[in-house]
Structure 1
Amino acid sequence: MRQSAKSKTEGQKPRGRGIHPALFYSMFAVLLGGNALLGTALLMAPDISRLLGGQNDMVLSAYEDRLAQMRVEIDRLHSRNYAQAGDMNLQLQELSAQQEVLLEQHQLVRALVTKADQLGLAAVAAPEASDMDLSMVTTLDGNPDVEATAATVTQMMDETQQAMTGIALAATERTENIVTELGKLGIELDLPDAQFAGMGGPLLAANDAAATSPMIEDANAVMDALLIYKAARDSLSFAPVHMPITGNFRQSSGYGNRKDPFTGNRAFHSGLDFAAPTGTSVLSAADGVVSFVGEKSGYGKVVEVTHGNGLFTRYAHLSAYIAKEGQQVHTGTPIAKVGSTGRSTGPHLHFEVHRGENSIDPKPFLDTGKRILAMLG
């Protein structure tokens, strides 16, 4: 029994001893106190204190430098924003000025269109004020879209410029047509020429403040074209190109050689005959002055009207007179009544056109009048 107990005791290893708690806490307290004393000594040492203080100054100086750099960057950004804002304000001011020009241009176009309509020109479309959105175009975030607004204003200005150009072209084209048609008849028109308008005055230094804008100059050019067209159109009134009779009539005889209705032989006929009922009104073929009222051999009762360009018209075989000699008449003024006086086979108007004492074919005159009136609508 003793042997087994002994052997059991020998089989167990002896336990090691640990650090006593009191000793551990005592050592920790000593170490902490030493560190505290060492830190206090270091902080109190002048050289070490200056060293640590210098490090802090360096860090603080670097931080302040960084702040200063940040302030510079912020100021730079602000300056850039202010510049951008200034550019936008300048752009907006320019757009505002363009809008004012556009409105003025539109008013000029409307005035020119009204004048063109008064002169019988085909209507030239001008942008209506209600169709013009002159407000500032904005982006989705509500900021002004300068480029889109500028494009809109430019487009509108182009449209009004095209309208002015269209009026000038229409007036010029019609003027040229009238001049060409009447020129074929030997009728020369005395039209105003804007290039040779009378001018004068003392020679003074230019005044930039009083300079005329290109838009005003363009509008004046269009108005000149309208005035020249008006003069050409008014000249038509003095050309015997209008029908001297209306109502129920027919052309019964032409100008030139024909078979004489009385002798049956060939004879020269100096005018056009329009068969019509007795009493049908005879109209002046153009503006002029009644230069003769009376009877002439072979013509019966006659009225003659003198026009410009050395022309006069003769109306014969009348049944009655309406106009008096010396009377100023206009195109379409009733001057007499259809009859069958003189050498005539029945009621009709004998119509002649004379340049000087020589008769000329009236048909080209009347055909020209028809073409021009068709053109004028």
Structure 2
Amino acid sequence: MNANGQSAVFGRRKEPHTVIIARGDEIRHFTVRPWMIACLGSIVAAVVVGYLLATSYLVFRDDLIGATTARQARMQQAYEDRISALRAQVDRITSRQLLDQQLMETKVGELLARQTQLSQRHGRLGPILERAETLEGISPELQNPTPTVPADRTKPEDHAAIVGDKVMPELAALASIGGSSEAPAFSRWSTRADLPVGASSADRADKLFGAINQSLQAIETEQLQRITRLADTTYQNADAIKDALQAAGLPVDADFGKDETDVGGPLVPIDRATLFDTKVKELDEALDQLDHLRKEARRLPLANPAPGRAVTSPFGVRTDPLLGTAALHSGMDFRIPLGSPARATAAGIITKAGWNGGYGRMVEVDHGQGYTTRYAHLSRVDVAIGQAVKAGDVVGQTGSSGRSTGPHLHYEVRHDGDAIDPLRFLRIGKKVEKYL
């Protein structure tokens, strides 16, 4: 070993670093060895690396948390948007169902109102139809203006209650359809609606409403048409009676009834209800006119006192059967066996009943308006003065009393005491017989 204490084997040894700290008289020194420096460097490096790692962790953690939060926010927003869309869709469906239900209820109400109107019309037509049924010469189909639905549209049982007093089952069921996809009211109509099996209730309801509406319109139209035809036929019958009476010069109220030549006025459109009321009123007026003319015609002696019997002597100038000279025959003679009934040709009051000179046993009937009829040469009188008789009542038995050459019926028609040819009345009676 040398004096410096260095090893000769390893050569010259480095001396460790010495740190001397002097503070006044006090002096301190530290020996800094290499391992201490290495440890201190390692500690510093570890602290720096730890700081960097911690900083990076915090930075990346904030980014991850922010990204996760943003992703969750986006997912929540998407869920909320989806929920809002579904809620809006549900609201739209609910609103549409409510709207469809309100629309159905409105349509059902309208159909029920029309059905009630038709029932009321049917009730109003009842009394008029009873009057029309008493008329002769009118087609039977015109006496029943309450139509049925055509077979190519619906079956009879489907609309049995349209014009009756009950509400149609289909309408009652439609009132509670609501938003359901099926309804019992569609069971009978779905096959005739020409719709797919999976069609919605609204589509099937619209088709059903259309079919019922067409049926109701058909009924209304048919009612109006038949009422119009019945009124026209009634007017034609009344005009036929009036024309026949006027052509024969018999009294008739010329101002009564319908005058089709003097017309005019502004055009005022009317609805179907007003049109129906107008047609019913027109029909009622036509029936009134026909009744009036029938009553007027029945007061006149238009019937044949001896139907099917031959006329042996007409009205007018002839050779007197007893004297053989020209004389006026004031009536018509009918060949009829002794004891046959002599019938009144119109309603009236008996003014004479008994023996009356050359007439023999005679009955005179006053028919009003100055018209009288006489039935002479009777074998027996069956009525008394003041007695009321109707057309066709027996007033006596035929014979040959008075100025007569054999059994027959002498028939006269007089107006204000003047004799009129009875043949004119008989001809008119033939023309208007079917209307009376």
Q: Report the TM-score, using the length of structure 1 for normalisation.
A: 0.73
CA deviation map 1:138-166 (0-9, x unaligned): 32458431101111122122223333333
Number of the residue aligned with 1:125: 144
- 2:332 touches 2:422 (CA, 8 Å); kept in 1? yes
For 1:42 and 1:264, how far apart are their aligned partners in 2?
A: 160
Question: What's the RMSD between the two structures over aligned residues?
Answer: 3.3
Query: Bigger CA drift: 337-346 or 105-114?
Result: 105-114
Match among 363, 366, 374 for residue 426 of structure 2:
366
For 1:54 and 1:191, how far apart are their aligned partners in 2?
A: 102
For 1:300 and 1:315, how far apart are their aligned partners in 2?
A: 10
Match among 190, 196, 206 for residue 139 of structure 1:
190
For 1:106 and 1:258, how far apart are their aligned partners in 2?
A: 61
Mark the CA change 1:287 to 1:192 in structure 2 (over 3 Å): closer, same or farther.
Answer: farther
Number of the residue aligned with 1:282: 342
Size of the aligned set, in residue pairs, is 322
Query: Bigger CA drift: 102-111 or 366-375?
Result: 102-111
For 2:425 and 2:217, how far apart are their aligned partners in 1?
A: 48
Number of the residue aligned with 1:169: 232
Number of the residue aligned with 1:260: 320
Number of the residue aligned with 1:101: 117
- 1:313 touches 1:354 (CA, 8 Å); kept in 2? yes
CA deviation map 1:258-294 (0-9, x unaligned): 3333344443222111011122111111111111234
For 2:100 and 2:137, how far apart are their aligned partners in 1?
A: 50
Query: Bigger CA drift: 318-327 or 115-124?
Result: 115-124
Number of the residue aligned with 2:303: 242
- 2:147 touches 2:223 (CA, 8 Å); kept in 1? no
Q: Report the TM-score, using the length of structure 2 for normalisation.
A: 0.64
Number of the residue aligned with 1:152: 215
- 1:296 touches 1:302 (CA, 8 Å); kept in 2? yes
The residue type paired with residue 160 of structure 1 is Q
Residue 218 of structure 1 deviates from its aligned partner by 4.5
The residue type paired with residue 298 of structure 2 is S
Number of the residue aligned with 2:62: 46
Residue 333 of structure 1 deviates from its aligned partner by 1.6
Alignment of 1:68 onto 2:123:
no
For 2:95 and 2:145, how far apart are their aligned partners in 1?
A: 45
The residue type paired with residue 394 of structure 2 is P
Residue 185 of structure 1 deviates from its aligned partner by 3.5
For 2:58 and 2:97, how far apart are their aligned partners in 1?
A: 53
Number of the residue aligned with 1:4: none
Mark the CA change 1:273 to 1:193 in structure 2 (over 3 Å): closer, same or farther.
Answer: closer
- 1:191 touches 1:228 (CA, 8 Å); kept in 2? no
Number of the residue aligned with 2:364: 304
- 1:284 touches 1:331 (CA, 8 Å); kept in 2? yes
Alignment of 1:183 onto 2:246:
yes
Alignment of 1:228 onto 2:292:
no
For 2:427 and 2:58, how far apart are their aligned partners in 1?
A: 126
Residue 44 of structure 1 deviates from its aligned partner by 4.6
For 1:53 and 1:194, how far apart are their aligned partners in 2?
A: 96
**Aligned with 2:305: secondary structure?**
coil
Alignment of 1:321 onto 2:337:
no
CA deviation map 1:296-319 (0-9, x unaligned): 443233221111221111222222
Residue 191 of structure 1 deviates from its aligned partner by 10
Number of the residue aligned with 2:402: 342
For 2:254 and 2:368, how far apart are their aligned partners in 1?
A: 14
Larger radius of gyration: 2
Number of the residue aligned with 2:332: 272
- 1:303 touches 1:335 (CA, 8 Å); kept in 2? yes
For 1:113 and 1:228, how far apart are their aligned partners in 2?
A: 16
Residue 240 of structure 1 deviates from its aligned partner by 0.5
Number of the residue aligned with 2:267: none
